[in-house]
Structure 1
């Protein structure tokens, strides 16, 4: 566990549970008690590590019978996820978020390793370096959306 922060440990634990099932329903307070953290730490991990860009959908219900449902999505099985990714990207996406989208495409075998490398190079901050981070993120978003739209029609 050396070199890992608590968020990494919680993420690994949840991914281990998800390795056995496509969908898992957890109690925020149970996981928080297990790791001796406040429930907001669990919220943080889920919000930042289990995004649609990373290949997950999350449904949450607060309150006494509350739960968090995390589900792995398969892009090939549900083309609506491509639309969801496009909406999540919006008009701007950071390099880190772009890499997460590419990782999800690769994990779902929508692109090859070579194609993923090319996509990473095309959307890398060195490639898009124009001295304006906001504009770089907007251009990256246009590239990513174009790729996702192309994948929708890929046979």
Structure 2
């Protein structure tokens, strides 16, 4: 039997079938788990952004309330199109996914099962900001390549 955390071979001692018998008996080991633990750092679920997690109307109202708080009435006539709101929602959900994935990996690296606020701060600062810029540049490059192919 191999350890799920270290990958090393562990001796199987067996289960005592009779409590009066002090020596463990050789019994069949429990069912073997897959070689890789599902919480291992190398396993990060891929996000499928075809379906948005948040309700579109709620996200639009959030964007409008933020806009109203930030502009202090200067841009009352400013209206976001549905396409812009959908792109903003897709990018924000992608960013949240990346932040939570990085926070999860930070917790795993520290050998904890629970993501703490400390992990969230570490994943949202520095690398998180660079990730936003990298994703935007990558999307622009992909758009340029697709325009050239057409």
Q: Establish whether TM, by shorter chain, passes 0.5.
A: no
Relative to its length, the structure with more strand (as a share) is 1
Structure possessing the higher relative contact order (Cα contacts under 8 Å, 6 or more residues apart): 1
Which is higher, the Rg of structure 1 or of structure 2?
2
Relative to its length, the structure with more helix (as a share) is 1
TM-score (norm 1): 0.26
